[in-house]
Amino acid sequence: MLILASSSPIRRQMLKEAGADFQVAAPGCDEDLVKQRHVGDGASLARRLAELKAISVAAGPDDWVIGSDSTVTVDGTRYSKPRDREEAARHLREFSGRTLELASAVALTRGGTIEWSEADVARLSVRPLSDRFIDNYLDAEWPDVGYCVGVFRMEGRGVTLFDRIEGSHFTILGMPLLPLLGALRQRGVLAS
């Protein structure tokens, strides 16, 4: 069995559209504690969180579990999902005219052991955002973007925040899908 340890609808959609047969289970790890204790860049944190999410799901000894996570860093400051709309607006004002470094990672576990993991980084240049734009954007996108680190969904109006994007579309959506599909084919979970 293949299990996705994520409550993210976009991660479920990516796997489903790739033709994977899987079940979903909510991960049970304390992300805040891991973030507080982490020393390193956003990619290493995203990888650690992805691994912990996958390990946290109870599964059979032959089941494969996928964990995934993303981080956003701007000029050395790491951002979490906003707690409320006010914090979301503050994040967007702080992102205005700057570059987001978005790291997404994915991990595969089997029998409670990490078998494989990978992290990827994308860079997204945020255009200058006016307070009026931010208010209108949040009127249209809140509360959906409250569940997203970076306060955007590329499958929504998030694309309007950026002037330039460098990196994998799947990484930006929240999971390095192509490397994951390759890892699943190598292990015989998906047909090659």
Residue 69 annotated among the catalytic residues of the structure: yes
| CA–CA distances in Å: residue 21 to residues 24, 150, 160 | 10, 29, 33
Would you identify the CATH topology of the domain 2-186? Maf protein (3.90.950)
Mean pLDDT within 98-112: 97
Q: Spot the catalytic one: 69, 75, 139, 163.
A: 69
Task: Read off the pLDDT of residues 5-49 as tens digits, 9 standing for 90 and up.
Answer: 998 899 999 999 999 999 999 998 888 888 888 889 999 999 999
Report CA Rg, the chain: 17
**Model's pTM, two decimal places?**
0.94
Task: Read off the pLDDT of residues 119-155 as tens digits, 9 standing for 90 and up.
Answer: 999 999 999 999 999 999 999 999 999 999 999 999 8
Per-residue pLDDT band at 95 (split at 50, 70, 90): very high
pLDDT at 58 (0 to 100): 85
The closest of 80, 82, 101, 94 to 34, measured between CA atoms, is 80
